[in-house]
């Protein structure tokens, strides 16, 4: 028994040291620059004729500080939406903070929130105009690691957009929400 205890203690110490070394190795893989792209479905909900469904495209660039936290910027093209009386096209840039929670070695949950600066070109009752504004957004999703560098994701994002139609009726605002469900890829450098 006296001979087994030192061997057992040495084994436990070596295992703990290997785990710490592996954890440090993982942290180097979980920080750095990444780029990504998403394609998905957009549901425009509002109290006006802008309600519609549409495709949405998104390009992202981010930096992971560790396996739990990242900053992310992006460009989103919400496409054309609306009906015969009112229609619009919106695109914009965003900045977000992103929290990441590893669930397994190959699956991560993430949540993000930030600000979007967007431009909308619209036509209402035959009159055209343009509007620049900003909105808050929040989203959540899952990353699926195909390798240490390539990931697939599925996410849902909600944008609190407000469309200002100044040319039709002075300071008319339409409270509109963009609801985005998308899938995409992320490549980590």
Residue range 33-188 forms a domain whose CATH class is mainly beta
Tell me which residue of 58, 38, 61, 154 sits closest to 107, measured CA to CA: 154
Beta bridge partners of 181: 41, 156
Residue 135: C-alpha distances to residues 10, 30, 61, 116, 169 (Å): 57, 30, 19, 5, 22
Measured distance CA(153)–CA(186) in Å, rounded: 8
| 189 residues of the chain, pLDDT tens digit each | 445 444 444 444 444 444 444 444 444 457 899 999 999 998 887 655 555 678 899 999 999 999 999 999 999 998 887 777 777 888 999 999 999 999 999 999 999 999 999 998 888 777 888 888 899 999 999 999 999 899 999 999 999 887 666 545 555 556 678 899 999 999 999
- Say what the pTM is: 0.74
């Amino acid at each position: 028994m006296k001979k087994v205890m030192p061997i057992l203690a040495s084994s436990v110490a070596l295992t703990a040291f290997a785990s710490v070394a592996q954890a440090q190795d993982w942290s180097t893989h979980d920080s750095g620059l990444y780029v990504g792209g998403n394609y998905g479905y957009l549901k425009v909900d509002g109290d006006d004729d802008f309600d519609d469904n549409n495709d949405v495209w998104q390009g992202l660039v981010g930096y992971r500080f560790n396996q739990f936290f990242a900053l992310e910027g992006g460009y989103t093209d919400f496409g054309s939406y609306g009906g015969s009386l009112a229609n619009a096209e919106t695109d914009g840039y965003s900045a977000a903070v992103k929290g990441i929670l590893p669930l397994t070695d190959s699956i991560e949950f993430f949540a993000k929130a930030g600000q979007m600066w967007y431009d909308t070109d619209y036509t209402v009752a035959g009159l055209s105009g343009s509007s620049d504004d900003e909105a808050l957004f929040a989203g959540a999703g899952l990353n699926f690691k195909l390798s240490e560098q390539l990931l697939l994701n599925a996410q849902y994002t909600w944008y609190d957009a407000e469309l200002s139609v100044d040319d039709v009726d002075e300071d008319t605002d339409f409270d509109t929400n963009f609801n985005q469900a998308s899938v995409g890829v992320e490549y980590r450098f």
